[in-house]
Homo-oligomer: A and B are copies of this chain.
Amino acid sequence: MTDRQGAADGQRAAPRRARIADVAADAGVGVGTVSRVLNGSPHVRAATRQRVLDAIERTSYRPSQLAAGLSRGTPRSVAILVPFLTRPSVVARLAGVIEVLGVEGYDTIVFNVETPAQRDHHAYLLTERHRAAGVIVISLPLLREQRAALIAAGMPVVLVDVAAPGFPRTVVDDVRGGELATRHLLDLGHRRIAFVGDPRGGRPARDEFGFRSTADRIIGYRRALTAAGIPVDPTLIRSGPHSAAAAAELTRDLLRLPDPPTAIFANCDTQALGVLSAADAAGIPVPGGLSVIGFDDIETAVHLGLSTVRQPLRESGARGAARLCRLLRGETVTPLREELPLEVIARGSTAPPPSPAAGAPAPDGGGRRAGYQPNA
């Protein structure tokens, strides 16, 4: 029988938000009980719970995340640190994270890092437990001191697509990925295979990200080549900024070589796009005159019929988020290092080399796909 906020008078009085005490009063119970109902405590009689639920309904009560967070000591939101948010592979992972976290009742705060300085800035802020209940780091190597600070702060952290000793992480085997891509090309009969990617980078430093996947993929590339008895030719390994444009430039050089490659393994699909356009600009048909394979399997790869090494992007984010939630519940995650599968997706951008170079009679059906040929 509570007065519906002075209904009689015409002017709507400021409809003061109901607080937990209002609900308690309305239900005729203590605030503790309401809190218990809110947090799903088992120590509440079904009948009481129902009374509280009704009161909540009547008062249109909405709990304050803020107050709950303060009281609890940690908010119901997690921070996620990503480098270059707009890159397709990154945003796909992010979507996976957000989806899972949302279902688990956590808000996702996104920190985008585009310079080492931003990385340092955000990494510092995230050691504050009142800012986020936990942290998910995607594809971004952290400095040793930053990892230490996170640990010292007791901050629950999971890594996605990066590794660091002692941290729960969801990754793929990039070395194996490099091997898979290269072997796919070898199986088609290629013998002169180039690699186009980012600079190998060292370890993360004050002024460097130190991304590691390229280096690993190159290791796999070399390994596959060596296993096939083909000497690694350093002039076929090129690196430049992480962009299609840069990849295109590198490809241009490669194609001008006296003995140009018949196939190119691009470090990621975006760079593969650059390779494709450079090939086109040079009038070299793909896969007729050049085979191209990328990495990641982003959406455009499908549209362009790009062969690639697929990794479960969205799922990696989802898995990482799920593991963080486990951590936040006080459970432990195991194994610390979770590996997701890699798979070669052969589309139309790879085929046997122009003139039967070596053996291998093209095991593939030589599938070809739709694409774009502006200069036809």
Contact = CB atoms under 8 A, between A and B. Distances in A.
A376 B330 contact: no
Contact of A66 (B75, B98, B99, B279): B75
Contact of A151 (B7, B65, B332, B376): B7
Interface string A354-369: 0000000000000011
A65 B111 contact: no
Given A332-B5, A372-B371, A86 B92 contact: yes
A368 B372 contact: no
A131 interface: yes
Contact of A154 (B3, B67, B289, B300): B3
A86 to B, nearest CB: 5
Interface stretch (A39-47, A191-199, A280-288): A280-288
A16 to B, nearest CB: 12
Interface string A122-164: 0000001111000000000000000000011010000000000
25 contacts: A4-B154, A5-B330, A8-B166, A66-B66, A66-B75, A66-B130, A85-B94, A86-B299, A88-B88, A98-B112, A108-B110, A109-B110, A276-B372, A277-B369, A277-B371, A278-B370, A280-B373, A285-B375, A286-B373, A288-B376, A349-B372, A368-B374, A371-B374, A371-B375, A372-B372
